[in-house]
Amino acid sequence: MIVYLDTNAFDHLYKRIGCTGAEIANLRKAIYGRQLSIRLSVHTLEEILLGRKVSPQAFAAQIKLTLSLASSRTLVKSCAQLLLDDIRAYAVRGEADRPFLRGDMQNAVADGIAALVESDGEELEDDFLAVLDQARQEKQHFFAALERARQEAEIVSSPPSGWSGFGEFFAAAARRALVTLAEQAGLTDACRDRGLDGLLKIKSVRMSLCAALAPSYERVTTGAVVNSTTFHHPVSAAAVAEAFVSDIAANRDFLAQLPVEGLNVSSLPEFLQGL
């Protein structure tokens, strides 16, 4: 089984919030026994490394724990690059692109992590820092793209009886939002020629649309304001994993109602107890 943990879950593992040392040892046993593998996103690294507020030694210990559970050799791209590359690949080949960092960026991460661990948390190489900073900026571009897609989809009118669920709302609004994402990638005609229904099945694209449309749906149906600033993690998870682990209850509630198949969702305690 392939599992994606968000930054919150990795943080709780390090601080042993909602888990025990024995459960972490059992998790390692499952990983070493190849019962499961954990995927790591560049956003997890940038959120840990650029947001650090602890001593270098504690910081190094957290990174070592994270990398003892998840390999940095298959690091998931930034959400913006993941979405753009998948739209481009679909327009050309009719399928999703490879979801992992490659080339100079992957090398910069590998070298940066090695230097960080060897210096006991004291040293952040410039090239590594540049990759992390770029990922943070691309995350903002990603949310800006979703906001434009959401605004375009908001003109969809509600049926007289209201929406029966998010799935019905998604079916009505997703195509309009999808066209907006394709337009932002400069690939509207190519995606139309290939088929928008096929593009809608690409997991990163579908989850991105769910993240874009969820705030509108909640506002219309419940009046609630949705905090979507962590929804990039479900997009990464959908692209690479079969299970998504988060201790943010709002994220789990959000994912529970989505028309996205093949992604099981649990809290960290639930995940560890199920091993």
At 194-207, the pLDDT tens digits run: 999 999 999 999 99
Confirm whether pTM is higher than 0.85.
Answer: yes
CA distances from 21 to 2, 27, 65, 217 (A): 22, 10, 12, 41
Instruction: Give the up-direction half-sphere exposure of residue 116: CA atoms within 13 A in the CB hemisphere.
Output: 24
Q: What is residue 18's DSSP assignment? A: S
pLDDT of res. 122 = 79
Average pLDDT of the chain is 88
Report pLDDT digits (tens) over 43-69.
999 998 887 676 777 778 888 899 899
Mean pLDDT of the 232-250 span: 92
Mean pLDDT of the 125-153 span: 91
Cα angle, residue 78 at apex, residues 140 and 3 outer, rounded to 5°: 125
Q: What is residue 72's DSSP assignment? A: E
pLDDT of res. 229 = 81
Map residue 37 onto helix, strand or coil. strand
pLDDT of res. 171 = 87
For a pLDDT cut of 90, what percent of the chain falls above it?
55
Mean pLDDT of the 149-168 span: 75
CA distances from 131 to 60, 77, 83, 102 (A): 19, 11, 18, 12
Residue 160 has pLDDT above 60, yes or no: no
b or e along 32-59 (b: 16 or more beta carbons within 10 Å of the residue's beta carbon)?
A: eeeebebbbbbbbbbbbbeeeeeeeeeb
Q: For residues 272 and 23, is the Cβ–Cβ distance under 8 A?
A: yes
pLDDT of res. 98 = 95
For a pLDDT cut of 70, what percent of the chain falls above it?
95
pLDDT of res. 259 = 67
Q: For residues 78 and 47, is the Cβ–Cβ distance under 8 A?
A: no
Q: For residues 170 and 210, is the Cβ–Cβ distance under 8 A?
A: yes
